[in-house]
Amino acid sequence: MQRVIWVTGSTGNLGAAVCRRFLREGDRVIGTILPSEALAQVPAAEGLEYRPLDLLDEQAVQKDVEAIAVTTGRIDVAVLTAGGFAMGDIGETGLEDIHQQLRLNFDTAYNAARPVFRHMMSNGRGRIFMVGSRPGMDMRDGKGMTAYSLSKSLVFRLAELMNREAHDSDVVTCVLVPGTIDTPQNRASMPGADFSAWVSPDAIAETIHYHSLPEAAHLREPVLKVYGRS
């Protein structure tokens, strides 16, 4: 059966890998792009639909999820990859820096997760994947990344709340915790690193795909650490 997959941040390194992985299975993939991105400039693929969406606009996200649900009948899997990163220790980090990272990493996740969670709860099933981080999971790993670490920590708390609310259903929220992701941007910023130790976006996408299948249905509150050797 063809599934309906919703991916936020679908033109980023990880989001694009997730789209490719599900498309190989013949699934219908709907990806969000920034309103500023031109549809003519994003990579087209059979079975992939792009929808411009401001993930910071709560009402717009809710309306778009509802529209997708009406058109397709359901959303089976949601993969929320949108987010951002910033360096800065406590001495360098003002409250506005924290608010900015909260907007990028928590507000976008919450605005996307809430309506799709409600939709899946009404259907009684579904899988949601959000992207955490090592610093968000353990503040001791967040030295020099104050705002980023704090914003990502809320992703874990949100997943715990969602899984508790969905305890008696077949709706499960997973948190991906990547190691250093092998992207062109990371290679450029760390040219002396051992790239072979990093984890590829395709490997993370494969992990997401597997944990969306019935074979992984017994996992109820998974935190998936995809580190490679990083």
The residues facing 176 across adjacent strands are: 131, 224
28-33 vs 4-8, strand pairing mode: parallel
All domains in the chain, ordered by first residue: 4-226 (3.40.50.720)
Give the count of alpha carbons within 13 A of 208, CB side only.
33
The predicted pLDDT at position 175 comes to 98
**Cβ(133)–Cβ(84) under 8 Å?**
no
Q: How many CB atoms lie under 10 A from the CB of residue 228? A: 16
Which of 22, 33, 15, 29 lies closest to 183 in space, CA to CA? 15
Q: What is the pLDDT of residue 46?
A: 86
54 and 95 Cβ atoms separated by less than 8 Å: no
CB 89, CB 69: distance < 8 Å: no
Q: For residue 22, with 0-12 CB atoms within 10 Å meaning exposed, 13-18 middle and 19 or more buried, which class applies? A: buried
Give Rg (Cα) of the chain: 17
| pLDDT given at position 56 | 97
pLDDT in the model for residue 44: 77
| C-alpha span between 163 and 135 (Å, rounded) | 22
Question: For residue range 80-137, what is the model confidence (pLDDT) as tens digits?
Answer: 999 999 999 999 999 999 999 999 999 999 999 999 999 999 999 999 999 999 999 9
Task: Find all residues with CB under 8 Å of 192, minimum gap 6, and list them.
Answer: none
> In sequence order, which residues have a C-beta less than 8 Å from that of residue 191 and are 6 or more positions away?
none
Enumerate residue ranges in the chain where pLDDT < 70: 38, 40
Dig out the tokens for 107 from the structure.
């507000």
Query: Tell me, what's the pLDDT at 40?
Result: 66
- The pLDDT score that the predictor gives to residue 221 is 87
Phi, psi dihedrals of residue 93, rounded to the nearest 5°: -105, 110
Looking at the chain, the whole-number percentage of residues with pLDDT higher than 70 is 99
